[in-house]
Amino acid sequence: MFFWLLCSAVLLKAQTTTMPSTQRYGSGLINIPIASVLPHMMITGTYSGFFMDLSRTIEIDVSGNETGFGPPIKHFSSDASVTLGLFDRVEIGTTLQSFNERDLGGNMWGVFGRAQLLRPQSQGLGLAFGGRYVTAPNFEDDVIYQPTRLGVPDKRFRKSYVGIEDVHTQLSLYGVATVHIPGFDQSALPEHDLTFTGGYGSGMFKDGDELEFYRSIDSEGWFFGSAVHIGVGNSSVLTFMSEYDGFDVNLGAQFDVAGIRIGAHYLAVNYSEPSGGHHSEYWKPKLAVLGSVALRVRGKPGLNRPTLMERLTPDTVVLPAPPPDTVRIEVATLPPADEGSLVNLCLSTGETVQLRLTPEGDTLIGPDRIPLNTLQPVLDFAGTYAGTTQWFVRGDPISFEDRIYEKMVGEGPVDCEQIMRVGQHLGVGLFTPRNADRPFET
């Protein structure tokens, strides 16, 4: 089951910000761990150190109480570590903290590791647990010593004292949570991420808090920190960070340029300077420097460029174009037209037109057989013969071709095919049967 989980994890891609290197224990802030791990088969090598210059040091008794002052110290203490990421879930490494003669504490080295329980995707909460183990210094006497949080051998820092609890700092176990938040990517601000970390640990995170020279304040094992990661170009990230490691407040900055990292830290800024000057290596603020290289050995080997969290492109919903305006045209269906009976009508002009008459006496007009009485006065026919001309109404005789013609009393049907126009009188046409001979009968 465990093997299946590891193999499945290989397929996953890291989504979080590239984190800086700690001074001695793999990825993290300055001293404290974070909840993310190195990507699969990524290796970092780190060298760090700090400057120490004290005009005097503290001497203690078997109970850890201060008894006086010792000689001054002035040196540069350095450390080295190598870290490997596995399956995007695990980070392991080794640390080398001291190469000394046996009477000066001998060699101090250690191993460390961290496993990620919950990994945020584009943003969210990450959870991890881990541990650090460092060998104790050996001054070739019968006293059992313990490693310090500064990574230097110290004859005053022992396992047992009279009247106080034993100190156990060789093994430090911890749990840690980190919140990853993409920054406020506005036009006036560079692209950046924010991380906030908190956790609890034993060993170096907690023990030694009863020794006056070793601590001024302590948090009983709680630690926390935050960082701002700023993208610089396409392959660089500048990180500003602050932390409280259980004893000290530390500030720092680290610049990762395409996998090559340089950093500067200001350690133990929370301690005020005594009136006679600092006399404890642990209380005095210190300037530390760091150099680190991040290598990718899987896929395309080479330097590993840092990245910020993946920016998710907002979902774009493409709406279909609205349908064109639809105009519904309804054609009224008229009832079937009444054909009627076809009749010929002779006009006063002598023209013959065809009309259709219904049995009810309606005159139908046009191809649609529309009743004439529904059209109202929109059509104008030639009317009755001679209309309202006065000579016709009075029945005056008329003269045509030297003969006098009088109006006949009564009316009769006329067929336009049987008459013909022979002239006019005062604008009114004169007709006679087609078979009539001149002079026409009166």
Q: Among 59-68, 290-299, 398-407, whose mean pLDDT is lowest? A: 398-407
What's residue 2's pLDDT? 38
We report the CATH number of the domain holding residue 142 as 2.40.160.40
Percent of the chain with pLDDT over 70: 81
Q: Are 404 and 398 a contacting pair, CB within 8 Å?
A: yes
What's residue 409's pLDDT? 67
Higher pLDDT, 103 or 235: 235
| Same domain flag for 285 and 392 | no
- Is 3 part of any domain? no
Higher pLDDT, 236 or 2: 236
Region 108-118: what's the mean pLDDT? 95
Last residue of a domain, one of 303, 321, 352: 303
What's residue 321's pLDDT? 80
| Same domain flag for 76 and 224 | yes
| Same domain flag for 289 and 413 | no
The model carries a pTM of 0.66
| Same domain flag for 348 and 266 | no
Identify the top-confidence range among 98-112, 251-265, 350-364. Answer: 251-265
Q: Are 199 and 224 a contacting pair, CB within 8 Å?
A: yes
What's residue 365's pLDDT? 67
CA 59, 63, 64, 67: dihedral to nearest 10 degrees? Answer: -30
What's residue 10's pLDDT? 38
Please give the Cα distance from 440 to 267 (Å, whole number): 146
Residue 64: phi and psi, rounded to 5, are: 85, 5
Please give the Cα distance from 309 to 121 (Å, whole number): 9
| Same domain flag for 350 and 280 | no
Residue 417 DSSP one-character state: T
- Is 225 part of any domain? yes
pLDDT, one tens digit per residue, over 261-290 is 999 999 999 887 777 777 888 988 999 999
Q: Count of domains in the chain?
A: 2
pLDDT, one tens digit per residue, over 324-363 is 777 777 776 656 656 667 767 666 566 677 777 777 667 7
Q: In the structure, what pLDDT confidence band is assigned to residue 440 with cuts at 50, 70 and 90?
A: confident
- Is 88 part of any domain? yes
| Same domain flag for 270 and 354 | no
Last residue of a domain, one of 303, 327, 353: 303
- Is 439 part of any domain? no
Region 68-82: what's the mean pLDDT? 91
Last residue of a domain, one of 275, 303, 331: 303
Q: In the structure, what pLDDT confidence band is assigned to residue 319 with cuts at 50, 70 and 90?
A: confident
Q: Are 290 and 256 a contacting pair, CB within 8 Å?
A: no
| Same domain flag for 286 and 359 | no
Asked if pLDDT for residue 29 goes beyond 90, the answer is: yes
- Is 172 part of any domain? yes
Enclosing domain of residue 353: 341-433
Token pair recorded at residue 240: 């500003």
What's residue 7's pLDDT? 41
| Same domain flag for 146 and 276 | yes
- Is 64 part of any domain? yes
| Same domain flag for 56 and 167 | yes
pLDDT, one tens digit per residue, over 376-425 is 554 455 556 677 777 777 777 877 777 777 777 666 666 777 777 777 77
Percent of the chain with pLDDT over 90: 43
- Is 1 part of any domain? no
Region 39-60: what's the mean pLDDT? 92
Over the chain, what HEC string results?
A: CHHHHHHHHHCCCCCCCCCCECCCCCECCCCCCCCCCCCCCEEEEEEEEEEEEECCEEEECCCCCEEEEECCEEEEEEEEEEEEEECCCEEEEEEEEECCCHHHECCEEEEEEEEEEECCCCCEEEEEEEEEEECCCECCCCCCECCCCCCCCCCCCECCCCCCCCCCCCEEEEEEEEEEEECCCCCCCCCEEEEEEEEEECHHHCCCCCCCCCCCCCCCCEEEEEEEEEEECCCEEEEEEEEECCCCEEEEEEEEECCEEEEEEEECCCCCCCCCCCCCCCCCCEEEEEEEEEEECCCCCEECCCCCCCCCCCCCCCCCCCCCCCCCCCCCCCCCCCCCEEEEEECCCCCEEEEEECCCCCEEECCCCEEHHHCCCCCCCCCCCCCCCHHHHHCCCEEECCEEECCCCCCCCCCCCCEEEEEEECCEEEEEECCCCCCCCC
pLDDT, one tens digit per residue, over 132-186 is 999 999 888 889 999 999 999 999 999 999 989 999 999 999 999 999 988 876 7
What's residue 376's pLDDT? 54
| Same domain flag for 348 and 299 | no
- Is 286 part of any domain? yes
Question: Which of 116, 127, 67 minimizes the C-alpha distance to 87?
Answer: 116
Higher pLDDT, 120 or 191: 191
| Same domain flag for 166 and 25 | yes
Amino acid letter, 114: R
| Same domain flag for 288 and 405 | no
